[in-house]
Amino acid sequence: MRYLVLLLLLSCKTSATVTIGVTATADYERPTKAAMRLWNSFVGCDFFVPGKDVQIKSSDGTGVMLPEHAAATFQTPRGWEIHVSYPGDLHDQACIIVHELGHVLGLQDGAPFGAMSYECPDFIRIRDDDVAIVKARHCK
Which residue ranges make up the site for Zn ion (CB under 5 A)? 109
User: What residue number has its CB nearest to Zn ion?
Assistant: 109
> How near is the Cβ of 2 to Zn ion at its closest, in Å?
45
Q: Given the complex with Zn ion, which of 16 and 111 has the nearer CB atom?
A: 111
Q: Given the complex with Zn ion, which of 105 and 139 has the nearer CB atom?
A: 105
Q: Given the complex with Zn ion, which of 13 and 91 has the nearer CB atom?
A: 91
Q: How far from each other are the two terminal CA atoms of the chain, in whole angstroms?
A: 27
Q: Given the complex with Zn ion, which of 16 and 96 has the nearer CB atom?
A: 96
Longest dimension (CA), the chain: 58
Give, in order, the Cα–Cα distances in Å from 39 to each of 11, 47, 123, 137.
15, 8, 13, 13
> How near is the Cβ of 106 to Zn ion at its closest, in Å?
12
> How near is the Cβ of 71 to Zn ion at its closest, in Å?
8
**Among the listed residues 130, 136, 135, 134, the one whose alpha carbon sits nearest the alpha carbon of residue 114:** 130
> How near is the Cβ of 31 to Zn ion at its closest, in Å?
16
Where would I find the H helices in the chain?
A: 2-10, 29-43, 90-104, 128-138
Q: Given the complex with Zn ion, which of 109 and 129 has the nearer CB atom?
A: 109
CA separation for the pair 26, 52 (Å, rounded):
15
> How near is the Cβ of 15 to Zn ion at its closest, in Å?
29
